[in-house]
């Protein structure tokens, strides 16, 4: 269970896929059905398929209401994500309904698709306005190597669950495939993914690659030429949303600074807040904060032993 002081709400964060997204994290850190080699949040410490009420729905809604009341700019969407698998939250459907009533905003859920073989998970997820499922492999060897699933999770179960869910779901579907060199980029797996996704409804299929350190040190992002070659194989509904070149330079060095400044202008955050809200490593968060403090763009203040950062108010 979460401690009373542990934050569940982060952002809002500018998202290329969703607009201005307010993040909700109801899963304890690194509680997941997978232990993916590329995960930027670190190694899974509680690999499980047991769905639990990690925190009370009422507490989450109270936190959300308080957070929204302090915001000057309303987000475009509320997104259930974080450092674990959101569908492990037992009262997921109740929470989605409650957030939609409270905020009158669309709700999105980012999921690794691992529990969609459960009818109760499909029923709960169907209440979301946008679902962002992932499927990194359609060949068992590649699936087990890259996602390292819980023993109860199998690739046939995932594919069957996705097909059943998408058959009746009427919201927006944004599929994501994360490609890692020498893990899931062989012709056999790409052809299998193309065949599987060809049977499923999706508004877009988005290709990503691992541009930040994961749990395994040897993972490498896929080069731009290969990313676009694979995109062409999937057809017009497929797009590349990250690349080794643009993500490492422009996005991490420039866009992240602007995103952090935008976030700190709204509310003070710790380095841990930025790490979880933006999906960046703690090392990168601390490095960028040090740079911004040195330039005078950000100031730090210790409150009861915790260091918070904020963008100083400037008189006009």
The domain made up of 245-316 has a fold known as Arc Repressor Mutant, subunit A (1.10.10)
Where residue 251 falls (left for φ over 0; alpha for ψ -120 to 50; beta otherwise) is alpha
- Alpha-carbon distance 136 to 147, whole Å? 8
Helices (H) and strands (E) in the chain, counts: 11, 12
- Alpha-carbon distance 124 to 88, whole Å? 11
Residues 212 and 32 sit within 8 Å (Cβ to Cβ)? no
Segments making up each domain of the chain, as ranges: 9-242, 245-316
pLDDT score at 277: 66
Question: The whole model's pTM is what?
Answer: 0.77
Superfamily covering domain 9-242: Aldolase class I (3.20.20.70)
- Alpha-carbon distance 65 to 105, whole Å? 12
First-to-last C-alpha distance (Å) of the chain: 45
pLDDT score at 313: 59
pLDDT score at 252: 39
Ordered mean pLDDT values, 10 residues apiece, the chain (316 residues): 57 78 91 92 91 96 93 90 92 98 96 98 98 97 97 97 96 96 94 95 92 76 91 93 45 61 76 75 86 90 85 59
pLDDT score at 311: 83
Q: What is the Cα Rg of the chain in Å?
A: 19
pLDDT score at 251: 36
Residues 171 and 18 sit within 8 Å (Cβ to Cβ)? no
The rounded Cα 50 to chain-centroid distance in angstroms is: 20
pLDDT score at 212: 66
Query: Which residue, among 224, 302, 299, 226, has the nearest Cα to 261 in the 3D structure?
Result: 299
Angle 61-65-71 (CA atoms, 0-180°, nearest 5)?
140
């Amino acid at each position: 269970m979460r401690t009373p002081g542990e934050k569940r709400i982060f952002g809002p964060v500018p998202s290329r896929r969703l607009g201005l997204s307010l993040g909700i994290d109801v899963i304890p850190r690194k509680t997941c059905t997978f232990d993916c080699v590329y995960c930027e949040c670190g190694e899974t410490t509680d690999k499980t398929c047991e769905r639990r009420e990690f925190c009370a729905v009422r507490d989450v809604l109270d936190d959300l209401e308080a957070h929204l009341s302090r915001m000057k700019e309303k987000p475009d969407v509320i997104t259930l994500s974080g450092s674990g698998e959101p569908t492990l939250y037992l009262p997921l459907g109740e929470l989605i309904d409650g957030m939609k009533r409270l905020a009158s905003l669309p709700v999105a859920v980012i999921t690794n698709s691992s529990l969609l073989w459960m009818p109760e998970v499909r029923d709960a997820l169907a209440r979301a306005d946008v679902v962002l499922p992932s499927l990194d492999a359609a060949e068992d060897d590649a699936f087990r190597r890259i996602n390292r699933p819980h023993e109860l999770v199998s690739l046939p179960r995932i594919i069957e669950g996705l097909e059943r869910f998408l058959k009746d779901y009427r919201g927006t579907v944004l599929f994501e495939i994360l490609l890692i060199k020498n893990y899931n980029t062989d012709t056999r797996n790409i052809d299998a993914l193309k065949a599987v996704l060809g049977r499923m409804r999706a508004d877009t299929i988005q290709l990503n690659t691992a541009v930040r350190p994961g749990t395994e040190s040897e993972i490498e992002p896929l080069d731009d030429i290969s990313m676009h070659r694979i995109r062409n194989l999937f057809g017009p509904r497929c797009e590349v949303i990250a690349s080794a070149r643009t993500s490492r330079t422009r996005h991490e060095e420039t866009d992240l600074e602007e995103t952090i400044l935008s976030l700190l202008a709204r509310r003070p955050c710790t380095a841990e807040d930025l790490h979880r809200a933006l999906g960046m490593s703690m090392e990168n968060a601390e490095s960028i904060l040090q740079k911004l403090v040195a330039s005078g763009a950000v100031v730090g203040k210790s409150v009861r032993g915790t260091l918070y950062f904020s963008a100083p108010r400037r008189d006009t």
